[in-house]
A = this chain, B = another copy of it.
Amino acid sequence: MAGFDKVIESPAAALDGLQDGMTLIAGGFGLCGIPENLIAEIKRRGTRDLTIVSNNCGVDDFGLGILLQDRQVKKMVSSYVGENKLFEEQLLDGTLELELTPQGTLAEKMRAGGAGIPAFYTATGYGTLVGEGKDVRQFNGRNYILEESITGDFALVKAWKADRYGNLIFRHTAQNFNPPAATAGRITVAEVEILVEPGDLDPAQIHTPGIYIDRLIQGTFEKRIEQRTTRTAA
């Protein structure tokens, strides 16, 4: 690898340096736009005591849920974790910790972490359990709480297209948490469906500039659907 070519040949090499006890930030919403290949590799490696920052924790046998099977996760920072029996078991037996964070606050914490903003005020959560113990301050007569940003040892994201320099484009709502997550990793790894050459993407149409991406792999994707809802064609 020379210059700005971020392409790594294997998921194993892409997670080089991943250790027990680290904090990972993962993109995705439900099972949509999740880094499937890197999650599988974490399971294969058996890395343990992970803190994972991700809006959801997958389902029992797909997405981040598969890391619960071997109890690799110590703590989740999420806004919604309802789709998962193993999750419930481990939460109840006390082996899994959960830090519930409002969805918008979670996205903004990642964005702030990547943007060098250590903390910001938000009205979200004021007067609720989320606001307990946090600084409160009034601006223009309204109460806001201070939320601190999040960064991770690794950030794992999934994109649709990328050039070798790591410039990313996401497809439809598979974008979701991936752009803010990508900015917040000390090491950010992206897995993509389609790899193109630098110059193939319009510079003004890149969702995540390559500066945020340290390593890039081309993956294969199941893209499981959580709620397949359809209408009858008219």
A residues adjacent to B (C-beta < 8 A): 108, 112, 115-123, 137, 139-140, 142, 144, 148, 169-172, 175, 203-205, 207
Contacts and interface: CB of A to CB of B under 8 A. Distances in A.
A122 to B, nearest CB: 6
Contacts of A117: 108, 120-122
Given A170-B204, A204-B175, A205-B205, A119 B118 contact: no
Given A171-B204, A204-B170, A204-B172, A139 B119 contact: yes
Contact of A121 (B108, B120, B142, B205): B120
Contact of A148 (B123, B139, B203): B139
A148 B138 CA distance: 12
B121 A118 contact: yes
Number of copies: 2
17 contacts: A108-B115, A108-B117, A117-B121, A118-B139, A118-B142, A118-B144, A119-B120, A119-B121, A119-B139, A119-B144, A120-B121, A170-B204, A171-B204, A172-B204, A175-B204, A204-B207, A205-B205
Contacts of A169: 204
Contacts of A108: 115, 117
A206 to B, nearest CB: 10
Contacts of A171: 204
Nearest to A151: B140
A191 to B, nearest CB: 19
B123 A120 contact: no
A78 to B, nearest CB: 22
Contacts of A121: 117-120
Nearest to A144: B118
Nearest to A175: B204
A139 B139 CA distance: 21
Nearest to A147: B117
Residue among A119, A172, A207 with max Cβ neighbours from chain B (10 Å): A119
Contacts of A175: 204
